[in-house]
Amino acid sequence: MRKEDIQSDIENVDNEIKSLSQKIRKYESDDEQSNDVLEYLEDKYRIMIQLLRQNILNNENLSIYTKESYYDVIFNKKEKELDYDEKYVLTSERLRGSKNIHYSVYLRLNSKIYNLFLQKRNQIVHHHPQSDINIPEFLNMAVTTEYAKIFSNLDKAIKNIKTELENLGDDIDDYKRSKDLYETLGDLFVHKVLLRNEKQTFLGEIKKDSYISQADEAKKAFNFYNIAIDFGRKLEDSGISHLTYRAYNYLEIFKDFMFKDKLGNIKEISDLKEKRDHIEEKFRIWEKYTKKKFSTNPLKGMKDFYPEDLREVNWILSIIKDIADRYNYDEFETPLLEPIEIFAAKSSQELVYEQSFYVEKFEDRKIILRPELTPSLARMVAQKSQELKKPIRWYSIPTCFRYEQPQRGRLRSFKQPNFDILGEESLYADLEIFNIIVDIFSEFGATQEQFQIYYNNRRFIDSVLTIILKISKEKLPLVYKVLDKSNKMEENEFVKFLIDTFQNDVNIQGILKLKDVTSIDEVLMRFNIIPDEFYDCEGYLELKKFEKLLIKAGISDYCTFSSSTVRGLDYYTGIIYEVFDTGKENIRSIFGGGRYDNLLTLFSDEKITGTGFGMGVYTLSLFLRSYELIPEDIKEKDYSDTIYIASINEDVSIYAMELARFIRGEDFPCIIDYRFKNLKNQLKRANELGVLIALIVGPDEMERDKVTIKNMISGEQKTILFDDLIDEIYGILDDYEESETDQ
């Protein structure tokens, strides 16, 4: 077709389009007439696009232009073609609805928008270096508008593909089509990712929001590729081999999907699985920039305590504090941070260097988050040892930290009530601690069948190892560490652990005889020869005496000797113990403690002996829950003595606040409903909370210095003087308590 003929046809069709556009406005209220005109208009747009395309091709083949004039002529024609393309799509959407237009129409339109934008950009940047065009301003405006169009068209294409997928069935052809469409969805989301990245590059800025969108779209692409792969497997199972589907012109969306083979040659990724793996790898990179919202989870091994959880914890602690008061123990508190050396000197190396959180540098010292309390207690007592009256009975409820593997009943951050008595050398101090333990568990309702205090004596075990088994004192800490693990291993596993640890250095068979013995006499019966000096050793005599004291105190049913109980901490010297859950479902250690004679020597020359324990609240709560010893309603807040103020409107807000201040001054908890409207809803909320008394205030009550009091149980209400309010509150609460007692 000659250039002149094409130009003539363009002018004719353009006139027809103008005429049809006028008719559209004329028949706007007549759907049938309007649709007929729209069909003609759509057809004319299609013809115009074809003519413009031919005209562009004819001009591109000419060699009469300078570089500048070429760009001006061609861009003018391409802009006109794009304008008619966009009008064609808008007309089709108006005629049929966007959901009924094939997604490839939007992709083709995007291709023209994108290519024209790149050519304009190249023209301005590379061919008009001296022009007065503000390049950053142009890019900012063009990128913003053109990319907005592209993203809008992509969203429409994605929506239409999803609609098509919803209408597919389960036969082989539909599987094939589903596979194609899901892969196409993956490709389009990849395209969105690349466009966002490119947009950032053009604008010369990196925005966090864009990275978040990239990561979200990359994840969607990955998921769609996986679905496509699943459909591909179904096709393979049917014996049909299907090549990867490539939709028409994705604006070179896979230009970023390139990799180097073993020879260093760049190749394009075209295989579906390669696409999936590639986008997964890309996502790992994008994901680093997507942390707009932080994780809602606490650190590993830490636990959030919501109000209902804390009510349970506080209930447990209230009973423990009550026991402390009965035994006249004073509460104390130590800093969360301590010098690492006070733990390293006497606690186990494992606890300090493997299981602790510490600050690498703090005023040129290593500082530790306390893993336990006893060294801190010793420091405090040593600081004022001359002033403190002996024996010292102290308790504390610190939060401690241990870097252990989290598991059921064991967290890395935990509350640990501690009871210690210092300055009392006799075994009666140990006996008092045992009584405290029994009283705590009994107060919760636990029985001797549910828990036991397994006890031993470090001096006794020292004598068995050194006098009977002839093991050197230098090796005792390692033997204790091994024995401490005996109850946590199977028999064969423990024997292997013993052999691996000691080789032939110690009497392994002798150590095995100390495992799982529940009688002092039975321990001695396991050895053929016992030197006479053993029976005079301090540990043996202490243990026999303590056994008799437990019987006389009436708590022997709760206590059992255990040769395997040694406690892993190095500072223990006398009576040691572990409290065990002895039920069938949850046999485990709950907590432990013991006597320490030399711990204060870290801080002074004065020797003060002490004994005590630290008990994890979380582990204790698991024990109590397993035996249903925690009341079901303990997590629920009791609003029975709470006074609820409901206001008719906001005009009485200040009066309501004065009323609340007065009530709180009388030690009643009080809530004001700040909605100040819809009295019915306010009272409904009070009823949901379980409130017994609601006060209603409005303009009349405020003017007369009165208040309306409502019994939420009976429904009765009356208006009273402000001065009579407290008596009325007590009256309603007393009546409620009497009715509860009668029931």
Q: Where are the alpha helices (DSSP H) in 170-271?
A: 172-203, 208-237
φ, ψ of residue 359 to 5 degrees: the values are -90, 125
Nearest Cα to Cα of residue 380 among 429, 334, 328, 329: 334
CB 183 within 8 A of CB 245: yes
DSSP H helix total and E strand total for the chain:
24, 20
| Rounded-to-integer distance, Cα 690 and Cα 636, Å | 10
The dihedral over CA atoms of 380, 384, 389, 392, expressed in degrees to the nearest 10, equals 10
405 contacts 605 by C-beta, under 8 angstroms: no
Q: If we measure between CA atoms, which residue out of 415, 742, 456 comes closest to residue 593?
A: 456
3-state secondary structure 329-350: CEECCCCCEEECHHHHCCCCHH
Contact criterion met (CB below 8 Å) for 589 and 616: no
Q: Which of 630, 623, 615 is nearest to 414 (CA)?
A: 615
Question: CB-hemisphere CA count at 13 Å for 191?
Answer: 25
Q: Cis peptide leading into 391, omega within 30 of 0?
A: yes
Taking each helix axis from N to C end, the angle separating 272-287 and 172-203, rounded to the nearest 10 degrees, works out to 40
- Cβ distance 281 to 287 under 8 Å? no
What are the strands, taking DSSP E only, across 218-313?
258-260, 266-268
**CA 465 – CA 505 distance, rounded (Å):** 13
For CA atoms 168, 169, 175, 179, the dihedral sign is positive
- Close Cβ partners of 584 (under 8 Å, ≥ 6 residues apart): none
Quick one: which H or E segment has residue 638? none
- As a whole number of angstroms, the distance between CA 325 and CA 736 comes to 31
Q: Report CA Rg, the chain.
A: 42
Helices (H), 27-102: 31-60, 67-96
Q: Are 338 and 368 in contact (CB under 8 A)?
A: yes
Question: If you search the block for the tokens 């291709």, which residue do you land on?
Answer: 111
Residue 205: what pLDDT? 56
| Cα gap 488→481, rounded to integer Å | 12
Instruction: List Cβ neighbours of 623 (8 Å cut-off, separation of 6 or more).
Output: 446, 450, 451, 581, 586, 590
Q: What are phi and psi of 88, to 5 degrees?
A: -60, -45
Q: Which residues contact 210 (CB under 8 A, 6 or more apart)?
A: 196, 197, 199, 200
Phi-psi region of 456 (alpha: psi -120 to 50; beta: other; left: phi over 0): beta
Mean pLDDT by 10 residues, the chain (743 residues): 67 74 60 65 73 65 50 68 79 77 82 77 56 58 78 87 84 81 82 74 59 69 78 60 36 42 51 66 54 71 92 96 97 91 69 70 73 89 91 95 79 92 95 97 95 94 87 79 72 74 70 82 87 90 95 96 80 90 81 87 85 93 93 91 94 94 95 91 94 95 94 93 93 87 70
pTM over 0.75: no
Which residues, in sequence order, are CB contacts of 187 under 8 Å at separation 6+?
221, 247, 250, 253, 254, 275
Task: Assign 3-state DSSP to the chain and report helix, strand, coil percentages, each to 5.
Answer: 55, 15, 30
Distance (Å) of CA 510 to CA 470, 501, 544: 10, 15, 22
Report d(CA 252, CA 562) in Å as an integer.
76
Edge-to-edge strands, sheet with 670-672: 670-672, 643-647, 693-697, 706-711, 717-721
Give exposure, 117-136, as e/b (b: 16+ Cβ within 10 Å).
beebbebbeeeeeeeeeeee
pLDDT of 95 reads: 75
Contacts with 72 (C-beta within 8 Å, 6 or more apart), sequence order: none
Tell me which residue of 267, 296, 138, 151 sits closest to 214, measured CA to CA.
Answer: 151
Quote the CA–CA distance of 572 and 137 in Å, as a whole number.
76
Cross-strand bridge partners of residue 331: 395
Listed residue (276, 382, 319) closest to 601, CA to CA: 382
What Å distances lie between residue 294 and 206, 289, 299, 499, 683, CA to CA?
20, 12, 12, 48, 38
CB contact at 8 A, 455 and 564: no
| Beta strand extents in 255-300 (DSSP E only) | 258-260, 266-268
Interhelix angle 172-203/208-237, nearest 10 degrees:
160
CA dihedral (426, 431, 432, 435) in degrees, to 10, reads 180
Are the CB atoms for 249 and 104 separated by under 8 Å? no
CA distance 624 to 445: 9
